[in-house]
Amino acid sequence: MSAGVAPNAVAAVSEARQWDRLMQMAQLGAIPGDGVNRACLTDLDRQARRLLISWAEALGLGVSVDAIGNLFLRHEGTEPGLAPVLAGSHMDTQPNGGRFDGIWGVLAGLEAVQALREAGIATRRPVEVVAWTNEEGGRFAPGCMGSMAYAGFKPADAWDAVADNDGVTFAAALRQHLALEADIPRRGLGVVDGVAPFAYVEPHIEQGPRLESGGLDIGVVDGIQGSRWFLVEIFGRTDHAGTTPLAMRKDAVQDMLRAIAALNELTHDPDDVLRFTVGRIEVSPNSPNTVADRVRFTIDLRHPDRAVLLARGDAIEGVVQGALRTCTATVTERFHALPSRFDPLVPDAVERAAAALGLKALRMTSGAFHDAQFLVPLCPTGMIFVPCRGGVSHHPSEYSEPSQLAAGARVLTAVLADLANR
Amino acid sequence: MSAGVAPNAVAAVSEARQWDRLMQMAQLGAIPGDGVNRACLTDLDRQARRLLISWAEALGLGVSVDAIGNLFLRHEGTEPGLAPVLAGSHMDTQPNGGRFDGIWGVLAGLEAVQALREAGIATRRPVEVVAWTNEEGGRFAPGCMGSMAYAGFKPADAWDAVADNDGVTFAAALRQHLALEADIPRRGLGVVDGVAPFAYVEPHIEQGPRLESGGLDIGVVDGIQGSRWFLVEIFGRTDHAGTTPLAMRKDAVQDMLRAIAALNELTHDPDDVLRFTVGRIEVSPNSPNTVADRVRFTIDLRHPDRAVLLARGDAIEGVVQGALRTCTATVTERFHALPSRFDPLVPDAVERAAAALGLKALRMTSGAFHDAQFLVPLCPTGMIFVPCRGGVSHHPSEYSEPSQLAAGARVLTAVLADLANR
């Protein structure tokens, strides 16, 4: 079956229903300016999951949860023993997040399965809609814990001791969460009965400006650039701002300036492909008339080419150390994800579906990281991007048109009809 | 009467008593590492004031408080109508402060008055020991509110709306404070009955390394360098760190780097006299994977030469604006105190007293600002510095030897015996 031959299912996708569900979800954790703050494993997160489950049960899907809280909604195949096709994303948000990042991928999966069922289209393979635990990492760092544990990238207890700002550990929050979802059938973590998924498809807003500025409908994502996160801590000495000559100071702010200036040179890229960001700075004691004795700052480094990412990232510590004039520093790598290339199976299916639906599509690499990259070693993987206004995400003003989101759900429906019948 | 002729009073200064009182005060707000955190107009501040008052009343001093909470302990003169000599400092500390900054100046005043009385030395003029409200500005900015209001530099209600980190306004904190000290006689704010003080003397730890490194005992302070404080706010745009090309960003952190680098050039001084400090930086949203849309940073600029301070300070806004590449910025001046030169009366008396006591003294300009500078328009003013270890202050490790502090109190005793008999 090709994408062109599921017209009834594609037609059954409801733009209004999907939008209405998105707006209902956006109420759970609503913040001013149309934003959403729904951290993982909170009561708001659980309310969102219960709402999703209510829609899934109304459709007759089988609901289950694994040991790290990943939630699965199963549409049974005509040959239930076959490897399922997995589609979904995550339901948690950034602290100052929007209404579409993550949650749309889950609701598009539900919309696609509902469309298949309403069109009476049976699939050989089961289709499972998945909501991964803690993609954002806003409450418990790093993100993508659910997909990393599912794929065996890390053991499920790897983050037990990670604490949120209130001192609650991930282990404690997860224990409480699973107790509150004890009525939901439990499934094994990861690949069940040795049957890896047949494929994984993740719909997501682009979080960048390329589709919108190109007047395009669909991003056919063929890979995810690599990311490395570092924490730099600079140690100097406090001194009185009025009395201590500059030559006698160990000013952590001034050595931070030198370090970042040197990193700007290290990461300079005339093609503007490499991404280097210092997004977080903490100064201590942070008093106007006291020379700072400590500065912590983060580095977010990304590139689609593994060799570039490794070379530049490995050079960071030496460049920081070489830039310091009076202080000492430590450099710690906090996150390391090499670039992912997707098997052509899913991207090709997405591209065919978009073409069959008359949508303008572009092959592209994702600049943001996603749960999808941790599925790559497990099964053919891909993503479907839709445009978002101004490329803005992780902000209350994040926005995609109902029609753009519906187009994405139609492509997903066609792709699932295709892949689940192979 | 010259400094050389009050030997009985100088001999009555008790190193042990002064040290014991300092250590009792250090218990009120004690923090780890021998530090003190005693913010103004808090219960801890009031406990310290009650302890001081108990010692003053045991001595028979007259206690009064004015409308901004400045506390006065009066040793009556044989001619009570004469202008008094004022001596003292402040009792509040920095949040991460030490045991000597401020409080020693108040306790040295008490020690000197006690020594005069125990030696049976009457003075023509009254001597008033003063504890100024909110010198540090740690809870309510700016500092020196008590001395500024006393000297008429600002009206007493100028800071009513200033709020602390918990949202408590200065007006509310002061109202509560005065209610809790309603049993203490109230005096008029500032110059009472048109009689300005005859002189003001403020003992203080140096807060710099010059006395210690020179093997000296006493700093004869002849002026205070000027200070100007600025707040710079830079406005950019949030963007996703993984998806947004650097050329498309308005990164407030990167424009902050450019601004501070340009300010480093503006304030460069081959003689290392000018003090330029960026001690506080706040980044928003301060997330590792989000380009910052706002940065606020402070500038503390100081110089003993009025012309230099004015020229460099006035150039700051233009330099910041010229350094920005993609963002906008505002520059606001938050504090403006021109350099002060002291009338020779007090410095000369301090110098004579130190010489008579065989102490090694140095004429110097204060790098830190002090309540003393606001008394300059009112009466002849001066300060007595004693060494502090490593020049460190505003830190729990701040330290002066009991013997160094006793030497300072002896000089003050001789100076008061001198000035209060003129």
The β-bridge partners of A75 are A127
- What pLDDT score does A7 carry? 87
- What pLDDT score does A76 carry? 97
pLDDT tens, position by position, A196-229: 999 999 999 999 889 999 999 999 999 999 999 9
The set of residues, in sequence order, having a beta carbon less than 8 Å from that of A312 and lying 6+ positions away, is A266, A267, A274, A301, A303
- What pLDDT score does A3 carry? 41
Q: How many CB pairs under 8 A join A and B?
A: 190
CATH 3.40.630.10 fits A3-224+341-419, yes or no: yes
- pLDDT above 70: percentage of residues in chain B: 99
A257 touches chain B (CB under 8 A): yes
What integer best gives the mean pLDDT of chain B?
Answer: 95
pLDDT tens, position by position, A337-373: 899 999 999 999 999 999 999 999 999 999 998 999 9
Q: Residue B385, Cα to own-chain centre: how many angstroms?
A: 13
- What pLDDT score does B383 carry? 98
- What pLDDT score does A137 carry? 87
Lowest mean pLDDT among A283-287, A307-311, A384-388: A283-287
Q: Point out the residue among A96, A238, A277 whose CB comes nearest to the CB of B285.
A: A96
What tokens does B414 get? Answer: 């001789």
pLDDT band at B3 (very low <50, low <70, confident <90, very high): very low
Q: Is the pLDDT of residue B1 over 80?
A: no
Reported ipTM: the value is 0.81
Q: Is the pLDDT of residue A31 over 60?
A: yes
Please indicate whether residue A80 or residue A109 has the higher confidence score (pLDDT).
A109
The set of residues, in sequence order, having a beta carbon less than 8 Å from that of B404 and lying 6+ positions away, is B217, B386, B387
Q: What is the CATH number of domain B3-225+339-419?
A: 3.40.630.10
Same fold, B3-225+339-419 and B226-337: no
Domain boundaries, chain A: 3-224+341-419, 226-337
Which residues of A fall within a CB distance of 8 Å from B135? Answer: none
Nearest to B409 by CA among B155, B89, B182, B40: B89
What integer best gives the mean pLDDT of chain A?
Answer: 95
Residue that has been written with the tokens 């590792």 in this structure: B288
Q: Is B134 left (phi over 0), alpha (psi -120 to 50) or beta?
A: left
Contact present, B320 and B331 (Cβ < 8 Å) = yes
Q: Is the pLDDT of residue B2 over 70?
A: no
Say if the Cβ atoms of A281 and B283 lie within 8 Å: yes
B31 touches chain A (CB under 8 A): no
Q: Is the pLDDT of residue B5 over 80?
A: no
- What pLDDT score does A289 carry? 87
- What pLDDT score does B136 carry? 92
pLDDT tens, position by position, B219-231: 999 999 999 999 9
Q: Give the CA distances from residue A181 to residues A29, A89, A126, B82, B277, in Å, rounded to whole numbers and listed in that order.
A: 20, 20, 24, 82, 54
Q: Point out the residue among A94, A238, A391 whose CB comes nearest to the CB of B395.
A: A238
CATH level 3 topology of B226-337 = Alpha-Beta Plaits (3.30.70)
- What pLDDT score does A148 carry? 94
**Distance, CA of A36 to CA of A28 (rounded, Å):** 7
Please indicate whether residue A285 or residue A107 has the higher confidence score (pLDDT).
A107
pLDDT tens, position by position, B112-157: 999 999 999 999 999 999 999 999 988 998 889 999 999 998 898 9
A279 touches chain B (CB under 8 A): yes
